Amino acid sequence: MMTLAGIFAAGGLGAVLRFWLGNIITSKTQSLRFPVGILTVNILGALGLGLFTGLHVTNSSAALIIGTGFFGAFTTFSTFSVESVQLLLAKRVKESILYIGLTLCGSLLAFWCGWTLLT
């Protein structure tokens, strides 16, 4: 029961932080007309999860609370999907492909960098 409460609390914190940081980045990059906010948040979240994973935390509750709760709520595949499709629907195919590539490759690279720094 305590693990569920921890996941709930960490998830709430991650979601609020994603919303706040995403909005700040988006407001500062509006002239780009490219979803930089969620791209940045997802890459930072992957880096953070990589760093956390590299710590090799053996406490399963802590791993669930931080990995699933916080980082699961901080990063967002659903918003990434919506923004990718919106770019396609606006016939901005090159930007959509760039966004998808940057998000996927950037997140994987960021996770790997974070993980290897601590292993």
Structure tokens at 21: 């940081």
- CB of 82 within 8 A of CB of 18? no
CA distance 87 to 32: 13
Model pLDDT for residues 34-85, shown as the tens digit of each residue: 999 999 999 999 999 999 999 999 999 999 999 999 999 999 999 999 999 9
For residues 89 and 22, the answer to whether their CB atoms sit within 8 Å is no
Q: Any known ligand binding at 72? A: yes
Domain residues of the chain, as ranges?
2-117
Q: Is position 14 annotated in a ligand binding site?
A: no
Q: Give mean pLDDT, residues 2-6.
A: 94
Residue 87 pLDDT grade (very low, low, confident, very high; cuts 50, 70, 90): very high
Percent above pLDDT 90 for the chain: 96
Alpha carbon distance 64, 43 (integer Å): 20
What is the spatial distance between Cα 91 and Cα 66, in angstroms, rounded to a whole number? Answer: 38
| Residue positions counted in the chain | 119
